[in-house]
Amino acid sequence: MKYCPHCGKPVRENAKFCPSCGETLTVSQDQPATNTNQITGIYDSATAKLNQYTGEKGAVKVNISDLFSEVFKHHSKKEADAIFIAGTESTTPALADVSDEWAKPWLFSRILIGFLLAFVVLLYMAVSFHNDKAVPGLILVGAFAVPFSGLVFFFEANAFKDISLFEVIKVFFIGGIFSLVVTLFLYQFVTFSTTSQYLGVLTLKDSVSIGVVEELGKVLIISYFISQLNVRHILDGILIGAAVGAGFAAFETAGYIYDAGSQLVAVAILRGWSAIGGHLVWAAISGGAIMIVKRDQPFKFSQLLDTRFLVFFILSVMMHAAWDWDITILGSAYLKLILLIVLAWIIVFVLMSAGLKEISRLKHQPIE
């Protein structure tokens, strides 16, 4: 099957023009399709289909090298300060000054490096000097490093810059803890198989149950903060979702590291790097999806029954279930995690793209 590189729709092998978008197809009839073309076609088709649920059209193109191009450049303290003070009453830009281009976050990488350096130093203290007092710090840093750094990425990517860092950190701590509390309450209504209880092996049913309970718990808290802060944009919803998800991930991981015993460092490293595509991103997806159905209206729980929200929520649940399910891909559990991380970020990019297009649309709306 051949796909249009512009809109992602299927086209005939010998087609010169796309029947859906009308663009010229540059690949000649006698040129064999490569694996790269097939992957690109599948990606374009999938993102175009998913993009329909955001209210937009066409495949979503993301230039990863451009997105992270500022990470490897030198930045001054003044630039960092400007990012940290964004979102206050005096620093929130007018709509006319909001850019609808992809942001180029970089501060998150400095925060991540700081966490990693602290982790290495604390580990050295614990191992080389047998200093048990370094262990609590090791647990804290190992649990918070990636989720909090990822949250700063979403803070930088919020083009509206209308939510302050103070509010984000508040949602991170309060939202993260209360989403765990709500999840524990919801678990009272779930039963797990004997395989899970006695062998510690999760069946597909167990994994789906975990996915539904934990994602629903986060959605309820995300909905509360979206309503309380009265946000109106998709990028805002993504940020609030990421804050709740990052808090959930950090506190949950701290518990897992604490229980790991002699495997403390191994668990911290595994859950640390994999957190980049776990609760942080799944909750960001749900937050953005809530804003797609909410828009400028007051939040109502009935909005969570909208098909547009349910599609993204179910995708988060499915990714969460696949993450926990005791299966491998090509015999590798790590490959499964990597593929799920990539998939989660593709969905996030679709929502972020819709958020950027929302800016352009708002700018062209007539002033009443």
Domain check: are 225 and 314 in the same one?
A: yes
pLDDT of residue 30: 45
Domain check: are 157 and 287 in the same one?
A: yes
Residue 355 within a domain = yes
pLDDT of residue 98: 96
11 three-class SS: strand
pLDDT of residue 28: 45
Domain check: are 122 and 266 in the same one?
A: yes
Domain check: are 156 and 42 in the same one?
A: no
pLDDT of residue 303: 96
Residue 59 within a domain = no
Residue 203 within a domain = yes
Domain check: are 48 and 69 in the same one?
A: no
- d(CA 117, CA 115) in angstroms, rounded, equals 5
Residue 26 within a domain = yes
Domain check: are 99 and 48 in the same one?
A: no
> By residue range, what is the domain housing residue 195?
65-363
Contact by Cβ (8 Å): 62, 102: yes
Residue 249 within a domain = yes
Per-residue pLDDT of the chain (368 residues; tens, 9 = 90+): 567 776 667 777 777 777 777 777 764 444 445 566 777 888 999 999 999 999 999 999 999 999 999 999 999 999 999 999 999 999 999 999 999 999 999 999 999 999 999 999 999 999 999 999 999 999 999 999 999 999 999 999 999 999 999 999 999 999 999 999 999 999 999 999 887 766 678 999 999 999 999 999 999 999 999 999 999 999 999 999 999 999 999 999 999 999 999 999 999 999 999 999 999 999 999 999 999 999 889 999 999 999 999 999 999 999 999 999 999 898 899 999 999 999 999 999 999 999 999 999 999 876 55
Domain check: are 87 and 40 in the same one?
A: no
pLDDT of residue 339: 97
| Separation in Å, CA 92 to CA 76, 164, 166, 331 | 21, 9, 14, 49
Pairing of strands 2-3, 10-11: antiparallel
Domain check: are 261 and 115 in the same one?
A: yes
Residue 243 within a domain = yes
Domain check: are 48 and 195 in the same one?
A: no
Residue 132 within a domain = yes
Domain check: are 139 and 271 in the same one?
A: yes
Q: How many CA atoms lie within 13 A of 127 on its CB side?
A: 10
Residue 293 within a domain = yes
Give the number of domains in the chain.
2
Domain check: are 10 and 150 in the same one?
A: no
Calculate helix-pair angle for 279-294, 204-229, nearest 10 degrees: 50
Domain check: are 126 and 29 in the same one?
A: no
